[in-house]
Every structure is written in C-alpha cells, then in structure tokens.
Amino acid sequence: MRDLNSDMDRAQALTVPEFDVHQSPNVTARVNGSALLTCRIRNVGSRQVVSWGRSLELLTTGQIVFAGDGRFEPLHQPHSEDWALRVLAVQPQDAGRYFCQVSTTPPVTHFIHLSVVGSAEISEREDALTCDSDGDLAQEPGEDWLNIDEVDESVDEIDEFADECREDNEVRDGREPRVEIIGGPELYIDRGSRANLTCVITKAHKVPKHVRWTHDNKLVQFDRARDGVNVKISYERDRTISFFSIDRVLPSDSGAYFCDPDGLSQVKVILHVLNGEHPAAMQTGGVGQAAAPVLLLLSAIINLYSACFAV
C-alpha cells in the first residue's frame, strides 16, 4: 500500500496543473454588487492547494480566509475543476489584479483583473436595464421576465436608476400615470383553460415597488393559493407590466380582480368562467327573459285581430 501511494505521488508530481484561460476571464462588477472570480484548473493534485490573492496580499488558502473584513469567500466543489473567489459588497478600491495559485514547486499562477464600475445600472440580474435619451428605462430584448420574489431585492435600485436616467437627460415629469388591464373591463374564458391577466402601468413617476393582485377583495397569495397561479413582472420602455396567470381555471376563479400598483390607482377586471355557454348568450339572457311576455301579448293581439276580420 505504501508503494502504491508513493507511485501515485510521483505520478501527480509529474502532472503539471494547467489553467484554462478561456474559462478564467476578467470580471467587471458594480459598486455594492458582488463579483465571482473563477479559475478553471486541470490536473490539481489531491495534496495541492489553491490560493487567492491580490498584489502582495494573500486572501485565501484552500478554505482558510485571511482577509479580515468578511467579504471574500473561496468556493470549490469536490471533483470540480473550478475554483472561485466571491467578493461581496464590491467597493471601488477592490479593483485590480487578482491571482489564483496552485501550490506546486515552483507555484503556478493565473491572473484575473477585476474592474469596478458605478451603480447607475442594475447588476447581477438577467433583466439588464438601459437608459435612453427620452429618460425612459428599457429592458433589453430577449431577457427573462422578473419573478415577483425578485422585485423587492432591486426595485429601490431600479427607482434610483430611473431618477438618474431622467435627470441626466433633463426630462421633467409632467406625465399622468395610467394603469389598465388589457382586454377589460370583462374577460370570458372556458373552464379548464388558462387565464392571463395583464396589467400595464405607464408614465409612472416612480417604479412601483409592489403590484398586488386581489380577487373579490382578498389578496392573492401566489405561493399558497394553489398550483398554477403565477405572477411575473417586466420593465419595458416607459412602462411596467404585471402578468397574472391561472392554469386550468375553475368556476370559483370567477369574479372581480384588481391590479393595485403602489402609489397608483387600482383597476378592475371581471373574469367570467364559462361552462360551455357563449358570452353573447350570457349577456343577452336577461333581455330574452324580459321580452317573452311582450311576445306573448303581441301574439294574442295578432290572433284577436285575425279573428275579427274572419267574422
């Protein structure tokens, strides 16, 4: 067994760790965001350790952290070729050249440059926002919609970005906000189908922190109501859109739905769940019932008139 271990040690000694530079790129992060520096290293021996540092400062060795402010965290999964350093609450002074190093003799090293930029854009989100010359925000085409659970985490930053955007472009807020539900005020859908309610907020002075949905005056709890009830939110050019969907609607889903954005007027839509009937029949059913006695009276008059002439 001792000879076998010696052979393995000699084999590892002859295998030089190799950096995959294409999978170990430079990184750009924003102030107060986080940065993930990654080194992909092949052929790291079981007795070799990967360290992270900056200039002459050693930050981590293996899972041991030497940096004293708690913002640096080494990350590595067993049997993975990726070693990473996470930097939390990035500050401008964090910019510079970092190194990851394997404890060979002599050590082998790869350098990664961290750039830090200002906070006037949303960072670390799939839904990057841009600012145009009209002072409006736009979500880049093809990006994923935001989940409602993600909104609270960044809406203050989005709001701040919107203010900066308008200020930079000297845009004055003389616009009246508008809230509407597409297709309202009444929607008809067959039982078992998917209902999609779309609430559009335009020209809002502030990005709504919350867009709540209520059903018959009860707040809809999207994570507790039942499976298939979802809401997503999107930030597009000069508007915020909340998408509310219900899979396989039931008769109990009928009723009044309100879209209620923070700081703005709520709007209502009435959802009718149909059991095979046609919407026109529902709308005219009352008229037909009221007209029946009139038709009977008219028929009686015609019959009487015909009888008189027959005599």
- Structure confidence at residue 287 (pLDDT): 34
- Structure confidence at residue 309 (pLDDT): 47
Q: How open is the CA angle 106-36-51, to the nearest 5 degrees?
A: 20
- Amino acid identity, position 59: L
- Structure confidence at residue 10 (pLDDT): 55
- Structure confidence at residue 18 (pLDDT): 92
Task: Tell me whether the CATH fold assigned to 8-117 matches the one assigned to 178-274.
Answer: yes
List the chain domain ranges: 8-117, 129-168, 178-274
Dist CA 145 CA 125 (whole Å): 10
* Average pLDDT of adjacent 10-residue blocks, the chain of 311 residues: 54 74 84 86 91 91 87 86 89 92 91 78 41 46 39 49 54 67 84 86 77 81 63 73 85 89 85 74 39 45 49 47
- Structure confidence at residue 100 (pLDDT): 95
* 8-117 CATH, one of 3.40.50.10490, 3.40.190.10, 1.50.10.20, 2.60.40.10: 2.60.40.10
178-274 is a CATH 2.60.120.10 domain = no
- Structure confidence at residue 162 (pLDDT): 59
